[in-house]
Structure 1
Amino acid sequence: MPSAHGGAPGRKPEAGGAQVKSAVRTVELLEFFAGQPGMHTLAAVQEAVGYPKSSLYMLLRTLVELGWIETDATGTRYGIGVRALLVGTSYIDGDEVVAAARPTLDRLSDDTTETIHLARLDGTNVVYLATRQSQHYLRPFTRVGRRLPAHSTSLGKALLATYDDDQVRAMLPETLAPLTEHTITDRDKLIGELHQIREQGYAVDREENTLGLSCFGVAIPYRTPARDAISCSVPVARLTPAHEQTIKDALFDARDRLALATRHL
């Protein structure tokens, strides 16, 4: 079964024995709840993951007892538990790139006065690892841990541009899901844009992920293909040509600083 939120193809381990199969199901179940916020009935979960209802119920009850899954007051609806938050927090706290990037993200926020993100490529999605909020009242909000399709974000496109065309074709389906009317939904058209991104050194999302919002992103070149990228998001109502150039210059400077800060990783 594919990941509930579009994880990397082929990353699921083989379930050759009962213990491994149980572990795989546990991880897939947690990924389902992570990708589908809120509370869900047993029937809804069973329809989504496809496990036998009896074994699914026992697995859910075990995870509830361990704190990984929570139930509502009736005990009939299930959602992600607090222990998942603790693991996610420990991942962020222990990540060397996040730690090395903090001073640069702070400076980039000061230089642009806009919202700054650090994100990591995970399969065909980007996961947000750190955020600096805009200094303006009208500001976009993206929480740490959020997942978005790589093809619809400047972060994701900057990272996809570090792969060659054949690799991108293997990663992405021919038709890409639209998030707005401006999202690129044709894989070949996206690949054509990736050529331009490689030449200019940065990616742009012009209302492709959120209406009214433009984003500029650059990959951090401490490994090839790149794994992490930084971006600056700005409402289109505030995006003048001069401000756009300021953002691009600040991103290039931040990229160079991060290249030095992460060179040992």
Structure 2
Amino acid sequence: MAHHLADPPTPSPEAGGGVRSVKSAERTIAVLEYLSSATRACSLREVSTALGLPRASGYALLTTLVNTGWVETDGAGRYRIGIRALRAGASYVERDDVVQRSQGVMTELNDELGETVHLARLDGAEVVYLATNISRHSLAVVSRPGRRLPSWATGLGKAILAGRPWSEVDELLPEILEPRTVHTITDRTALRAELEAIRRRGHAVDEQESTIGLRCFAVPLDFGTLPNEALSCSVPVVRLDPDREDVIVTALLRARERIIR
């Protein structure tokens, strides 16, 4: 006998697309995001306090995540992101269309320049590193895939932001632009002027704004829409002179055309 499938419930007018959010799922995501951004293992109290969770609920959620491999514990009551999260992140990168289009070009650019090459994507007010080809030199600064940095403090982020209307950028950024170094642009007027200059010349420069001693050159990857990704080359300032900078920028612009065409 055929079974009649009940009609799906009528979406409620709450939460975005009209579907009621699931609190347990929201809490799970919040815990994973908190632990993934933490610089060290965290205690139950730290997680519960930061996320406003009842202690019992926080413990039950963390225990479930440990049992499923998404979170690991050091045996002393502290928690860190687990290997399942790494597998999920690796799967995302491996299947990403922009990464696939860029990797061959990044390898050739790395071979040509001998310097570290990065690919990153804008996510909120931050950039997330998607792929990296490491410099062949012993003196190198590397941002591994998955690392997040404030967009206003990086060449990659500024290259992406420069391709967007200032009104959108202003709304996207936090009220206070926290510095990473003494060179980070934290004044909105100065940042707007910097983005306009980037738009005119076609590439961004991070002048030790993210890491002291490191200069980064970046170009946006605009696939016919507002840019959401950028390609960069990071070089210790001790290895740079004006001629070398011209070579790097020219190579980046050439690489960008090969990726977006």
Same fold (TM over 0.5): yes
Greater Rg, structure 1 or structure 2? 2
Whole-angstrom CA distance in 2 between matches of 1:199 and 1:70:
48
Match of 2:5 in 1: none
Match of 1:58 in 2: 60
* Contact kept? 1:173, 1:187, Cα under 8 Å: no
Partner of 1:134: helix, strand, or coil? coil
Q: How does 1:106-255 map to 2 (within 5 A)?
A: 106-255=107-256
Whole-angstrom CA distance in 1 between matches of 2:26 and 2:188:
31
Match of 2:22 in 1: 20
* Contact kept? 1:121, 1:127, Cα under 8 Å: yes
Q: How does 1:71-82 map to 2 (within 5 A)?
A: 71-74=73-76, 76-82=77-83
Match of 1:8 in 2: none
* Contact kept? 1:116, 1:134, Cα under 8 Å: yes
Whole-angstrom CA distance in 2 between matches of 1:226 and 1:67:
35
Matched residue count: 247
Identity %: 48
Whole-angstrom CA distance in 2 between matches of 1:94 and 1:237:
37
Partner of 1:230: helix, strand, or coil? strand
* Contact kept? 1:118, 1:231, Cα under 8 Å: yes
Distance 1:51 1:223, change over 3 A: farther
**Structure 1 outlier segments of 4+, above 4 Å:** 12-17
1:106 Cα deviation (Å)? 1.1
* Contact kept? 1:174, 1:188, Cα under 8 Å: no
* Contact kept? 2:125, 2:174, Cα under 8 Å: no
Structure 1 unaligned regions, length at least 5: 1-11, 261-265
Cα RMSD after superposing both structures? 1.6
Distance 1:16 1:224, change over 3 A: closer
1:14 Cα deviation (Å)? 8.8
Match of 1:45 in 2: 47
Distance 1:16 1:253, change over 3 A: closer
Whole-angstrom CA distance in 2 between matches of 1:204 and 1:82:
35
TM-score (norm 2): 0.91
